[in-house]
Amino acid sequence: MKNIVLIDDDDGEANQLTAQLGQFGYSVTHCSDANDSGMAELDAGAVALLVGLPAGDEAAPQIDQIGDVCQEFKRPPPLIFLSPDPNMATRLAAVRAGAAALLMRPVSMLDLVDTLDPLSEQAVDDPFRVLIIDDDPRICKYYKTILSEAGMETVFCNEPLKTFEVLAEFRPELIIMDLYMPECRGKELAAVIRQDPAFDSIPIVFLSAEDDLLKQLDVMTIGGDDFLTKPIRPEHLVMAVYTRARRFRSLRSLMLRDSLTGLLNHTTTKEHLDIEMSRMQRDGQPLAYAIIDLDHFKNVNDTYGHPTGDRVIKTLSSLLKQRLRATDIIGRTGGEEFAVALAGVSGSQSETILNDIRRAFSKIQQQHEKGEFTVTLSCGVATFPEFGNVSDLTDAADQALYRAKDSGRNRVVLAES
């Protein structure tokens, strides 16, 4: 588990934080003040230092003290302050102490976990994929070297008429294209690429010695996103490619992911399941597919309101991301329905994993001004190779979910072949 150091003189709140954070994979070392021996955990690799602040004017001096203490560590920990009345003076003091965040106290567990997760995960983005189309191999190799040294995955195509073969295999996030090539002009090739819906949104950057502005604008009208003039400095090329590829990836992520939770949406979940199923068939490995549904969720919305219902959904999505592997498929497939696919996991193993998640979720205190409450979930699981294709697998998981609901909810049911 990932460790957090907590400074708080309120033992009751500290114990509650410890219990709740434990469901999300965090352990807590509780210290009564900044001189407590538990502070040594910060040098042992603690994820963050959480500090519970008093109300009023006493908060700022305590923040200053904590800031001074943190500077004594070789690697000062990320600081998160919890304040019952975060006024402007408190916020300014927190900023001056180098705080990563200041949250309202009593703290929302969802807000706290959303703050902690980026601090505890060293996210490594996949390299941007760039396709260079130019009939001159020397130019292609030169640009490939520049972009590869900048950490991008680059391939080139010297035969424009074979572009679609490379597109289908490589799936680039940006295309760099020469304007004048013997087999076809860049303008013509860009127009052909834009005719295919699968590649219509990929940014196309023309890179040519053409300096006639009217001709540059002309090729932009048929689907070009930018025009760079040769010769171009390596750093300018890298920056131009990086900014456009990053924007493409960001926009594509919005299309593939659920806006509330950041999980895969229904369509993308199914597409990923198809791919993973084919891979497991080739490798002779099992695959577990689960459908998860929140119990009595309509009552939550009716009693506490839809904003609170959304927070419950986000809490479950955070828990799934915490408890499952980065390689697992996790999607939100309906209002309060989720789906996960666990590659290389058998039926009995998936029952254990999903029951752990079920139990953890049922212990999380959901917060509302009417009082705290808990929510449970039901889950149906089906496995490959017991069910040999995606349709049978998803139908079996759906039927298992119905049985879980009918038999009392708050349980995991494994489909029998």
Question: Residue 63: how many CA atoms within 13 Å on its side-chain side?
Answer: 28
Q: Which of 175, 338, 205, 197 is nearest to 261 (CA)?
A: 338
What CA–CA distance (Å, rounded) separates 280 from 282?
5
The CATH homologous superfamily to which domain 266-414 belongs is Reverse transcriptase/Diguanylate cyclase domain (3.30.70.270)
User: Which DSSP string do the residues of 194-212 spell out, in sequence order?
Assistant: HTSTTTTTS-EEEEES---
Q: What is the pLDDT of residue 328?
A: 95
Question: What is the DSSP secondary structure assignment for residue 241, as one 8-state letter?
Answer: H
Q: Is the pLDDT at 10 greater than 90, yes or no?
A: no
What CA–CA distance (Å, rounded) separates 175 from 204?
5
pLDDT tier at 125 (50, 70, 90 boundaries)? low
Residues 6+ apart with CB under 8 A from 223: 190, 191, 193, 194, 204
Q: Is the pLDDT at 122 greater than 60, yes or no?
A: no
What CA–CA distance (Å, rounded) separates 357 from 122?
23
Quick check: helix, strand or coil at residue 29?
A: strand
Quick: pLDDT tens for 153-191. 999 999 989 999 999 889 899 999 998 888 888 888 988
Quick: pLDDT tens for 303-318. 999 999 999 999 999 9
What CA–CA distance (Å, rounded) separates 71 from 51?
15
Q: What are the residue ranges spanned by the domains of the chain?
A: 2-120, 129-255, 266-414
CATH 1.20.1250.20 fits 2-120, yes or no: no
Cross-strand partners of 80:
50, 101
- Categorise residue 60: left if φ over 0, alpha if ψ from -120 to 50, beta otherwise: alpha
Question: Packing angle between helix 390-406 and helix 266-283, nearest 10 degrees?
Answer: 120
Strand ranges inside 198-272, DSSP E = 204-208, 226-229
What CA–CA distance (Å, rounded) separates 46 from 41?
6
What CA–CA distance (Å, rounded) separates 264 from 270?
9
Q: Give the residue-averaged pLDDT of 199-211.
A: 85
Q: Specify whether the CB–CB gap between 331 and 265 falls below 8 A.
A: yes
Quick: pLDDT tens for 358-414. 999 999 999 888 889 999 999 999 999 999 999 999 999 999 999 999 999 999 999
Q: Specify whether the CB–CB gap between 179 and 208 falls below 8 A.
A: yes
Q: What is the pLDDT of residue 121?
A: 63
Residue 202 Cα distances to 55, 258, 298, angstroms = 53, 21, 41
- Categorise residue 408: left if φ over 0, alpha if ψ from -120 to 50, beta otherwise: left
Quick: pLDDT tens for 215-244. 777 777 777 778 888 888 899 899 989 988
Residues 6+ apart with CB under 8 A from 299: none
Terminal CA-CA length for the chain: 36
What CA–CA distance (Å, rounded) separates 163 from 85?
60
Burial class of residue 305 in the structure, from the number of CB atoms within 10 Å of its CB (0-12 exposed, 13-18 middle, 19+ buried):
middle
Read off the tokens for 245. 């590829």
Quick: pLDDT tens for 23-78. 888 999 999 888 888 787 777 778 899 999 998 888 888 898 888 888 777 777 78
Domains 129-255 and 266-414 share a fold: no
- Computed over every residue of the chain, the mean pLDDT equals 89
pLDDT tier at 7 (50, 70, 90 boundaries)? very high
Residue located via tokens 């604008």? 217
The CATH homologous superfamily to which domain 129-255 belongs is Response regulator (3.40.50.2300)
Q: Is the pLDDT at 124 greater than 60, yes or no?
A: no
What CA–CA distance (Å, rounded) separates 2 from 231?
50
Q: Specify whether the CB–CB gap between 331 and 269 falls below 8 A.
A: yes
β-pairing, 226-229 with 329-332?
A: unpaired
